[in-house]
A and B are shown apart, each in its own frame.
Chain A
Amino acid sequence: MTDAINESAATSAPGPWPDTLTRVPFWAFQREDVYAAEQARVFRGAAWHYLCLEADIPEPGDYRTTFLGDAPVIVARDSDGSINAFENRCAHRGALICLDDKGKAKKDFTCVYHAWTYNLKGDLTGVAFQKGVKGKGGMAPDFRLSDHGPRKLRVSRLHGLVFGTFSDETPELEVYLGEEITSRIARVLKDRKPVVIGRYTQALPNNWKLYVENVKDSYHASILHLFFTTFELNRLSQKGAIIVDESGGHHVSYSAIDRKAQTSNTDYAQQNIRSDSQYKLADPTMLQGFDEFGDDVTLQILTVFPTFVLQQIQNAIAIRQVIPRSPSETDLNWIILGYENDTPEQRLVRLKQANLVGPAGFISMEDGCVGGFVQRGIAGAHDKQSVVQMGGETAQSSESRVTEASIRGFWKAWRGLMGY
């Protein structure tokens, strides 16, 4: 029913959408009706969303709760080892079925309101007083448990990641991702046993798409983030590239040590960019990592449309899950990873490099507020547009990272789902 309302409320864009990928109307970040339409078409539509790690629920009976857009979701591992996800919404009167973030050894879920009970697959298995009491009351004789239940998600796993989708139309996960993105996820996670070493939420004062734009924006990295640039974690003149998949929605930005070229500072000096200071660390051990991938790639930022980020910044590995809360509020869940076979020295490096990210991150700190700067900046400009033209007009892979190609790609995929 909700879907039906949302679908009919916004079958077309609330204003004219320019016939180019290089302009984005600011109302897309502001309007309640756009937000509601996104819930139906992007979050409950044909897209895969990160739910949790397999490592979060290793044993039968383990579960976690999360969100897919506004919708609360339970992810549980059943006795047969399968992973199931279903809405955290009782089929009776709609209350949350599960009130905890996580748990173990669960046999079933029972709604506290009227004790309707669900198994680990999300099937309704029991209704309290179904037959009434002493022959009076109770459900009608034709009431069948199997006719009722929370909506179930399709679940797909990839290298320890668990994704879910409400839609039957979403292509299989590996088709959805394509070979190139899949291989870049494999680079970080394949045949490895990730362990969660940190977890927190950053509450962002902006529309979720402003954060996604920021992650896909390789143009800003060396300009806004002085910390990054000064220590040559990410000079644009390093070897690197942007990969945008065919759909536009997924991307990888990476940089690698260029052993042939000397980094030139002249380009930066000429642009009057703040990034050219003489700043030095008193304790440089934070940036002394180890080569865990054997490919000289010091940074790989990967997004899966629309809300999943996999980050490798040196040895700082993290997942970021984007959860919209309102048109102007977003939760960013950070999941900081190590690996089971980390040596104590390697783990210490990860703890030190975790300083780079999160709300207190030497790099990520600015990303937490810059979306808010936009949200506040556009407050009186719903009918104006942002300019996303750096590096051309298309959404294609590029050897230069002085481009906004992957942002254009995001809008291409978003418009596809939204019908704008």
Chain B
Amino acid sequence: MKDLQSLTFIIARAQADYARCIDDDRLEQWPDFFVEDCLYKITTADSKRDGLEAGLVFANTRAMLRDRISALREANIYEKQAYRHVLGMPCVLEENAGGARSETAFLVVRIMRDGKSDLFTTGRYLDHYEIRNEQALLKERIVVCDSSRIDTLLAIPL
């Protein structure tokens, strides 16, 4: 068992790296924040409340996360854009064998090609981390967007 302070720090550091990775457009490295046998979903607060299983993005292997990125790089057409993630302090909900569950608020600004910057989405990460050697890897990340309205498209992961 770790003390709450160090656990919070380990998770916060992993999340800071995660956000920087996406915002710096190093998307090829993004799947490395997950274990191989992971679950990543983007859904909405309404869908979560109503128990609707299908969200906006679903991946139950790290390979599917890699496919997301190769599709963005090779296949999908979208205007140049970038995100700026601002994360809240992780709230550790539960420590369990080899890991921990946490919840973290986020806010994402989307910066478009023409400089237009909009509050793209807000929400919370519901995470299950595996913690080994002071490193936190995501076993599960459920991205719960507060709003069910998505402007135009959701290309880059959250």
User: A: which residues have CB within 8 A of B?
Assistant: 196-205, 224, 226-227, 230, 277, 279, 281-283, 285-286, 331, 336, 338, 347-348, 350-352, 354-355, 358-360, 362, 365-366, 368-369, 372
Q: Chain B at the A interface: mostly helix, strand, loop or mixed?
A: mixed
Which one of A203, A336, A351, A358 lies within 8 Å of B149 (CB-CB)?
A: A203
Inter-chain CA distance A281–B75, complex, in Å, is 11
Inter-chain CA distance A350–B58, complex, in Å, is 10
Query: Known: A197-B54, A201-B148. Contact between A366 and B61, CB under 8 A?
Result: no
Size of the chain B interface, CB-CB below 8 angstroms: 35
Query: Known: A286-B64, A365-B78. Contact between A204 and B152, CB under 8 A?
Result: yes
Q: Would you call B154 an interface residue if the criterion is a C-beta within 8 Å of the partner chain's C-beta atoms?
A: yes
Q: Chain A at the B interface: mostly helix, strand, loop or mixed?
A: mixed
Q: List 6 extra interface pairs beyond A200-B56, A200-B148, A202-B153, CB under 8 A.
A: A283-B66, A286-B64, A338-B54, A350-B54, A355-B59, A359-B154
**How near does chain B come to A231, taking the closest CB pair, in angstroms?**
10
Q: Hey, what's the 0/1 contact readout for B36-72 against A, CB within 8 Å counting as 1?
A: 0000001010110010111111111101101100110
Which one of B54, B64, B78 lies within 8 Å of A354 (CB-CB)?
A: B54
Do the beta carbons of B76 and A352 come within 8 Å of each other? no
Cβ-closest 7 pairs across A and B: A198-B54, A283-B63, A282-B63, A226-B75, A360-B154, A368-B153, A359-B150
Do the beta carbons of B155 and A227 come within 8 Å of each other? no
Do the beta carbons of A227 and B152 come within 8 Å of each other? no
For A204, the chain B residues whose CB sits under 8 A away are 152
Do the beta carbons of A362 and B76 come within 8 Å of each other? yes
For B75, the chain A residues whose CB sits under 8 A away are 226-227, 230, 277, 279, 362
For A281, the chain B residues whose CB sits under 8 A away are 63, 67
Chain A residue nearest in CB terms to B31:
A282
For A198, the chain B residues whose CB sits under 8 A away are 47, 52-55
For A359, the chain B residues whose CB sits under 8 A away are 56, 150, 152-154
For A282, the chain B residues whose CB sits under 8 A away are 63-64, 66-67, 70
For A283, the chain B residues whose CB sits under 8 A away are 61, 63-64, 66-67
For B79, the chain A residues whose CB sits under 8 A away are 369
For A368, the chain B residues whose CB sits under 8 A away are 152-153
User: B: which residues have CB within 8 A of A?
Assistant: 42, 44, 46-47, 50, 52-61, 63-64, 66-67, 70-71, 74-79, 148-155
Do the beta carbons of B58 and A355 come within 8 Å of each other? yes
Chain B residue nearest in CB terms to A205:
B152
Do the beta carbons of B148 and A226 come within 8 Å of each other? no
For A230, the chain B residues whose CB sits under 8 A away are 75
Question: How many inter-chain contacts with C-beta < 8 Å in the A-B complex?
Answer: 120
Inter-chain CA distance A352–B63, complex, in Å, is 13
Inter-chain CA distance A196–B55, complex, in Å, is 12
**How near does chain A come to B143, taking the closest CB pair, in angstroms?**
11
Inter-chain CA distance A352–B153, complex, in Å, is 18
Do the beta carbons of A226 and B76 come within 8 Å of each other? yes
Which one of A227, A360, A372 lies within 8 Å of B56 (CB-CB)?
A: A360
For B52, the chain A residues whose CB sits under 8 A away are 196-199, 336
**How near does chain A come to B55, taking the closest CB pair, in angstroms?**
6
Do the beta carbons of A200 and B78 come within 8 Å of each other? no
Inter-chain CA distance A362–B68, complex, in Å, is 8
Inter-chain CA distance A40–B155, complex, in Å, is 36
Inter-chain CA distance A230–B61, complex, in Å, is 22
**How near does chain B come to A287, taking the closest CB pair, in angstroms?**
10
Inter-chain CA distance A331–B66, complex, in Å, is 30
For B67, the chain A residues whose CB sits under 8 A away are 281-283, 286
**How near does chain A come to B84, taking the closest CB pair, in angstroms?**
19
For A224, the chain B residues whose CB sits under 8 A away are 77
18 contacts between A and B (CB under 8 A): A198-B47, A198-B55, A199-B46, A200-B149, A203-B151, A277-B75, A283-B66, A286-B64, A336-B54, A358-B150, A358-B154, A360-B56, A360-B154, A360-B155, A362-B71, A365-B153, A366-B77, A369-B77
Chain B residue nearest in CB terms to A368:
B153
For A350, the chain B residues whose CB sits under 8 A away are 54
Which one of A199, A227, A355 lies within 8 Å of B148 (CB-CB)?
A: A199
**How near does chain B come to A371, taking the closest CB pair, in angstroms?**
9
Which one of A199, A277, A279, A369 lies within 8 Å of B47 (CB-CB)?
A: A199
Inter-chain CA distance A199–B55, complex, in Å, is 8
**How near does chain A come to B48, taking the closest CB pair, in angstroms?**
11
